[in-house]
Amino acid sequence: MEVQFIVNVILVVAGFIGSMFVKDLVDKVKNLEEEHKSLQDRYVRRDDFKDQLVEIKSMLEKIFDRLETKADKQ
């Protein structure tokens, strides 16, 4: 009967340590999710940046074309 008691105690301790480990992992994942959400407000996605860059380039081309065709240009 003593062996069964020792095995039960070992399993309970191992289960407690395992549950603490899993709880720690879950907390870390939640913190990472919160940090990820805050980063979305601070940075621009690459494809959004490329789209905006194309728009800026087209506007600059229009400006340069107008400057090239300006009448009082020497």
pLDDT-based confidence at residue 69 (cuts at 50, 70, 90):
confident
Supply the mean pLDDT for the chain. 90
- Res 58 pLDDT > 80: yes
pTM reported for the whole predicted model:
0.52
Sign of CA dihedral 31, 32, 38, 42: positive
- Res 71 pLDDT > 70: no
Distance CA 58, CA 51 (A): 11
In tens, the pLDDT along 13-48 reads 999 999 999 999 999 999 999 988 888 777 888 888
Half-sphere exposure of residue 14: CA atoms within 13 angstroms, side-chain side: 6
| The two structure tokens encoding residue 42 | 């601070």
